[in-house]
Structure 1
Amino acid sequence: MSIDLSRVAELQRTAIGILFLVTVSLCIYRFAAWALNRIPATRNYMTSWNVRVAEKDFCDTAASLRKLGLADMPTGPLQGSGRKDAAFVHARYQIFMFLIGLGCADLLAAAINSVDQQRIQGSMETPALVLAGVVLPLLVWRARRSPGVARYRFLLSIMSAIEACEAVSSSQPDDRPKALRRLDDSCSTVRRSLLKAHLIAGSTGRRSPRRRQAKRHAALVVAKLQKAEAEIDVKGEGALRSLASLLVRIGNGYAIGNASNLLPEQTLRGVEPVSNREGVRMAAVILATGAALCVGVVLGFPDVAIAVMTGSAALLASIVIYGARSAVAKTSELMSVIWK
């Protein structure tokens, strides 16, 4: 097997170009946000816009709690969450998904034309593939890592799980399996986020002595949540109310900044913490995807073949490691942020 050094050099140039493009895009984004925040009229409008969106987001959750008989439960912190950035969170995801949708549609049309004409069309060349497959997803990832976005997205997932509890409670027998599956997916999203709560909150540094305690507490809360979910088929409506109540308490604790003390110690007695292998799973997906990309480049495959092979490797690795239902849950979570 001979290594195509020119392809390796091209890969290096592409990596440098990606880094430069992402850096420029993030700098422009940050400067625009900073400039708009310096204009009083714009700042006041954005403040009121965030408040309106946050109130709208919580409206369905409040209705679900009333139907579950939990209207008297304190929800002030959860209800007040997002008043500073709710609209920004939704707007960011809508813009990024619109751009990615345009890029994917253009790539699909170019792929069809490439197959039809037996040669690579413009949108299937390396720069376009990099923009659609790397740069835009990285911008979305950066938005998720933004503290305000990540925190509110986590609280939105808790609201969605509460609404799913009410959907199961009010469902007809024929619709109950579908409602239960939606509840499973919603709670799965909450559990994954809970295991990263110390990172989302940004309240502990990598070397902080509080980090280990925060991670252990999150593992205990996840185990408590799993136990509450398991009781649904045994206790029925009572278990649904208990689960919704537990979710509200977790949401309230997180909303006021108690990421390391979401539930009181007495609530977690007798609970064994769950194990967290999320980092290992993510590393395996990244390695599989990177290996497929490098193999395609080193062997001198055409750009179309490299794109297809890399995308297929990422999809297959995600399905094998996370399971198909996890992909559905992640998609549902994303849609709830965009269209809630």
Structure 2
Amino acid sequence: MNIDWERAAAIQRSVVGGALLAAIVMSVYRVLAWIARRIQPLQVRWAAWNARVAEKDLAPTVEALQHLGLANMPIQAFRESGRKTAGSVKLRYWLLTFLVGAGLGDLLMAVIKTIETRQVQPSLQPSALIFAAVTLPLLMWAARRNKVIAGYRLMLSIMAAIEACDAVTRSDTSGRPQALRHLDDTCSTVRRSILRVHRITSSVGRGSPRQRNAKGHASLVVAKLQLAEAQVDAKGDGALRSLAALLAGIGNSFAAGRVSTLLPEQHLRGTTPVANREGLRLVSVIVTAAGALCLGVLLGLPAGVDVVLAGTAAVLASMLAYGPRAAVAKAGEIMGILRQ
């Protein structure tokens, strides 16, 4: 078996280039943010913008709680946390969307020109395709790793689940199945995020002994959420109110930094913790994609085919690991914040 070392070296250069580009983009953003924080007038405007975005995001959730008869639920920590970060989080996602959209748009135009001229455009050359396949996921990974972003995304997902509870109570007979399916999807997003709460919270440092308590508590909270969701069909609107109250309590505790007490201990008595296989699933997807890419290089497949093979393997592995519907939801989760 002959190894094409030139293509292997091209892949290595693309990986390094993608990592450097992601680092440059994030560094430029952080420098600009640091400068903005040092200019008082800009800081005042920045804080006011964050507050406006947060109130806009929270308004439908407040209305949903009122409609569910939960207007007295304590969500002050929820509101205060959002007022500090909402605008900046969305700005980062807008920047990410622009970069990803620009890259995908360039590839689409290259495909159209290639079909028209019957000549492969530079953007479709193997090195360019590999660069895009490395850079775009790296940019998404860099954004998701930021604790402020990940924390606000968890709060947004909780708000979406509360609003989904209200949507089910408002739905008629014909629309209820779709509303219930949407509720399942939003709650699934919340559960996945809660299982990662020890990594996305700013109140627990890496290597802290509190991480173990947070992980164990998160498993119990997810189990409690699953039990509450299971009661929806049997108990109807009463179960939906209980589920919404549970979600609001979790969101408020998280916003206040109480990641080891998202729910009071008495709420979790008799609950069996769920198994957290999120890390294993993610590793399996990454290993499958990397293995497919290496296999394409070792087999000497035509230029560009190895990238397509790796992408296809990643999609199939995601569907096997998370299920077809969950895989689509997980892929769209990073962009869902823009629709809030």
Q: Please give the range of the TM-score, normalised by the shorter of the 2 chains.
A: over 0.9
- TM-score normalized by the length of structure 1: 0.94
Per-residue CA deviations over 1:44-83 (Å, capped at 9, x if unaligned) read 1111000000011100000001111111222211222211
Q: Superposition RMSD on alpha carbons, in Å?
A: 1.8
Does the CA-based 8 Å contact 1:62-1:71 persist in structure 2? yes
Equivalent residue, structure 1, for 2:153? 153
Equivalent residue, structure 1, for 2:93? 93
Does the CA-based 8 Å contact 1:157-1:189 persist in structure 2? yes
Give runs of aligned pairs for residues 295-314 of structure 1, distance below 5 A. 295-314=295-314
CA 1:309–1:331: 2 relative to 1, 3 Å: closer
CA 1:293–1:110: 2 relative to 1, 3 Å: same
CA 1:239–1:327: 2 relative to 1, 3 Å: same
User: Following the alignment from structure 1 to structure 2, what is the Cα–Cα distance between the partners of residues 316 and 322?
Assistant: 10
Give runs of aligned pairs for residues 51-62 of structure 1, distance below 5 A. 51-62=51-62
CA 1:297–1:112: 2 relative to 1, 3 Å: farther
Does the CA-based 8 Å contact 1:157-1:333 persist in structure 2? no
For the residue of structure 2 that corresponds to 1:71, the secondary structure is coil
After TM superposition, the structure 1 stretch with the greater mean CA deviation from structure 2, 255-264 or 319-328, is 319-328
Per-residue CA deviations over 1:71-113 (Å, capped at 9, x if unaligned) read 1222211222211110111121122123212211221332344
Does the CA-based 8 Å contact 1:214-1:260 persist in structure 2? yes
Equivalent residue, structure 2, for 1:47? 47
Per-residue CA deviations over 1:120-174 (Å, capped at 9, x if unaligned) read 3111124532453222332222122112111111001000000000000100110
Equivalent residue, structure 1, for 2:251? 251
CA 1:320–1:115: 2 relative to 1, 3 Å: farther
User: Following the alignment from structure 1 to structure 2, what is the Cα–Cα distance between the partners of residues 126 and 20?
Assistant: 19
CA 1:99–1:236: 2 relative to 1, 3 Å: same
For the residue of structure 1 that corresponds to 2:304, the secondary structure is helix
* 2:160 alignment partner AA: S
Equivalent residue, structure 2, for 1:198? 198
Equivalent residue, structure 1, for 2:65? 65
Identity %: 51
Q: Are 1:269 and 2:269 matched, yes or no? A: yes
Q: CA deviation at 1:7?
A: 1.9
User: Following the alignment from structure 2 to structure 1, what is the Cα–Cα distance between the partners of residues 77 and 152?
Assistant: 12
Runs of 4+ residues deviating >4 angstroms: 115-119
After TM superposition, the structure 1 stretch with the greater mean CA deviation from structure 2, 109-118 or 195-204, is 109-118
* 2:87 alignment partner AA: A
Q: CA deviation at 1:329?
A: 2.4
For the residue of structure 1 that corresponds to 2:22, the secondary structure is helix
Equivalent residue, structure 2, for 1:316? 316
Unmatched 5+ stretches in structure 1 = none
User: Following the alignment from structure 2 to structure 1, what is the Cα–Cα distance between the partners of residues 228 and 312?
Assistant: 37
* 2:31 alignment partner AA: F
User: Following the alignment from structure 1 to structure 2, what is the Cα–Cα distance between the partners of residues 205 and 45?
Assistant: 30
Equivalent residue, structure 1, for 2:180? 180
Does the CA-based 8 Å contact 1:8-1:298 persist in structure 2? no
Does the CA-based 8 Å contact 2:75-2:252 persist in structure 1? yes
Does the CA-based 8 Å contact 1:124-1:303 persist in structure 2? no
* 1:267 alignment partner AA: H
CA 1:72–1:202: 2 relative to 1, 3 Å: closer
After TM superposition, the structure 1 stretch with the greater mean CA deviation from structure 2, 285-294 or 179-188, is 285-294
Q: Give the paired residue count.
A: 340
Q: Are 1:21 and 2:43 matched, yes or no? A: no
Does the CA-based 8 Å contact 1:185-1:329 persist in structure 2? yes
Q: CA deviation at 1:22?
A: 2.6
Does the CA-based 8 Å contact 2:148-2:202 persist in structure 1? no
* 1:50 alignment partner AA: N
User: Following the alignment from structure 2 to structure 1, what is the Cα–Cα distance between the partners of residues 249 and 280?
Assistant: 30
* 2:193 alignment partner AA: S
Unmatched 5+ stretches in structure 2 = none
Does the CA-based 8 Å contact 2:15-2:131 persist in structure 1? no
User: Following the alignment from structure 2 to structure 1, what is the Cα–Cα distance between the partners of residues 302 and 248?
Assistant: 52
Does the CA-based 8 Å contact 1:65-1:71 persist in structure 2? yes
Per-residue CA deviations over 1:220-253 (Å, capped at 9, x if unaligned) read 0000000000000000010000000000110111
User: Following the alignment from structure 2 to structure 1, what is the Cα–Cα distance between the partners of residues 236 and 319?
Assistant: 32
Does the CA-based 8 Å contact 2:68-2:166 persist in structure 1? yes
- TM-score normalized by the length of structure 2: 0.94
Does the CA-based 8 Å contact 2:18-2:138 persist in structure 1? no
CA 1:92–1:252: 2 relative to 1, 3 Å: same
User: Following the alignment from structure 1 to structure 2, what is the Cα–Cα distance between the partners of residues 17 and 325?
Assistant: 33
* 1:339 alignment partner AA: R
For the residue of structure 1 that corresponds to 2:160, the secondary structure is helix
